[in-house]
Amino acid sequence: MSTTTTAKSVLEMAQKKGAQMVDVKFVDTFGIWQHFTLPISELTEEAFTEGLGFDGSSIRGWKSIEASDMLAMPDPSTAFIDPFCRVPTLSITCTVAETGTKEIYSRDPRGIAQRAEKYLQSTGIADAAYFGPEAEFFIFDSVQYDQKVNSAFYNVDSEEGIWNSGRGDTPNLGYKIRHKEGYFPVPPSDALQDIRTEMCLVMEQLGVQVERQHHEVATAGQAEIDIRFDTLVKTADNMMVYKYVLKNVAKKYGKTVTLMPKPLFGDNGSGMHTHMSLWKKGKPLFAGNEYAGLSQLALYYIGGVLKHARALCAICSPTTNSYKRLVPGYEAPVNLAYSSRNRSAGIRIPTYSENPKTKRIEYRPPDPSANPYLAFAAMMLAGLDGIINKIDPGEPLDKNIYELPPEELKQVPSVPGSLGEALDCLEKDHEFLLKGDVFTMDFLDMWIASKRKEHDALRLRPHPYEFFLYYDV
């Protein structure tokens, strides 16, 4: 629905569609939708301003039990009829607020993104930041995993997987996609065309504009669906709908979707290359006469993103699994340089069109395990810091970075090698995130502590491959 949607028009739409229930959704710290459901009669116009109460003490990283009352503030612009509910149900996304004051909760990711947009406007630099994420994901037929004190395993499977070429099932029709050859053969090798198309159509039905869909490079169900750019909060809202649709359409087909960045060894991982641009009074600010048709302002923005890129990884590549993808020597964008068209650089300047309105930068390290509200806000704050402090991004790197001699490659900074290292970088470099009270130290301390627990949880457990390497020492 449009951003001019009102509470009254939402209620009228719900009545027209015969909605019997309302599903109240909000995003938790780590980017997962949470929800509770009410009879439609409980959603009044007053609820949009007064909020809907819930207990925040059970949400990871939020309230303690003695101060757990919170308010979900419905945003009319996010309303749609949920296509996956058997009973007609109105879905609506909320920002989370404190009871009493109705101030936006400082740890609410959507509230952080909203403060980021307000901060942008307060600088006078621009009045809108646009984001266009290119998220990749895997569609599997099954997944199994377990971790015990004396054992650990995982197993994923896909009808497309090259490892199934010798499977004894009848019939085995072949058409398996070889490693790194999934970009992009037609059916029957691509067995997931219809599923991806249905995902696109459902997204469009819910107001998320799709630009394209296709199989991705890896064997075994890797896919990409690109959605059209929009403003920061709106794009993050759309990414939550995106993930919801992927998982539920896949379930309808008896399949499962994961957005973890590296579920397969020895084949491509899933990234979320993110296109960014700033606009003011309807005019693009990144177009100019500098390198690759960029403006000086855009180069400063790049300078800020590159300066803070290692700290950004703690938010934009926020899982231990992210660093199985961000490995030097492979296709992942680990090199913190910028270049026109060059996909081996961390920042690429697309050159598909000469139209100034299409001028943007593409930041390639993020992956879809990130909370989009936090990731987009953090990226924008890094770029704004570059503009405000006129940070020179240095010279572009127009060579194939993967083929640079070792002495030249040493001069190119790279992303952290682990989540722990990324958190170290964030601890040292976070002042840019505090501008405009967008992020708070309370939030960052909580984030770092929570993510260190994840890092330590993996660090402390034996890995199955270690038995292969070391059992006979």
- Whether the CB-CB separation of 32 and 102 falls below 8 Å is answered with no
- Kind of pairing between the strands at 210-215 and 222-227: antiparallel
Query: Is 46 an active-site residue?
Result: no
Identity at 275, one-letter amino acid code? H
Alpha helices in 78-137 (DSSP H): 109-123
Catalytic residue among 12, 55, 204, 290: 55
Query: Is 136 an active-site residue?
Result: yes
- Whether the CB-CB separation of 317 and 367 falls below 8 Å is answered with yes
Q: The tokens of 157 are what? A: 């499977």
- Whether the CB-CB separation of 225 and 242 falls below 8 Å is answered with yes
Distance CA 61, CA 318 (A): 15
Strand boundaries in 51-193, DSSP class E:
52-55, 69-74, 80-81, 89-98, 128-140, 142-147, 152-157
What is the end-to-end Cα distance of the chain in Å, rounded? 63
Q: The tokens of 36 are what? A: 């509770």
Query: Is 55 an active-site residue?
Result: yes
CA 383 from centroid of its chain's CA atoms: 18
Catalytic residue among 362, 367, 385, 455: 362
Query: Is 403 an active-site residue?
Result: no
Distance CA 125, CA 389 (A): 12
Catalytic residue among 35, 214, 343, 452: 343
Handedness of CA 75, 76, 77, 80 (dihedral sign): positive
- Closest-CA residue to 74 (of 30, 101, 44): 44
Catalytic residue among 75, 98, 117, 136: 136
How many residues in total does the chain contain?
473
Phi then psi dihedrals of residue 182, to 5 deg: -85, 0
Handedness of CA 154, 159, 164, 168 (dihedral sign): positive
Query: Is 466 an active-site residue?
Result: no
Query: Is 196 an active-site residue?
Result: no
H helix or E strand, kind and range, residue 235: helix 232-252
Catalytic residue among 273, 308, 310, 430: 273
Catalytic residue among 224, 230, 367, 385: 224
Contacts of 208 (CB under 8 A, 6+ apart): 227, 238, 241, 242, 245
Q: The tokens of 239 are what? A: 């990414």
Catalytic residue among 98, 117, 216, 385: 216
Catalytic residue among 107, 110, 364, 455: 364
- Whether the CB-CB separation of 276 and 129 falls below 8 Å is answered with yes
How far are the Cα atoms of 60, 143, 234 from residue 31, in angstroms, in the given order?
A: 11, 21, 15
Distance CA 415, CA 334 (A): 5
Q: The tokens of 10 are what? A: 């939402």
Catalytic residue among 82, 134, 141, 237: 134
Q: The tokens of 461 are what? A: 């457990």
3-state DSSP assignment of residue 169: coil
Residue given tokens 């053969």 in the structure block: 185
Query: Is 216 an active-site residue?
Result: yes
- Catalytic positions are 55, 134, 136, 216, 224, 273, 343, 362, 364
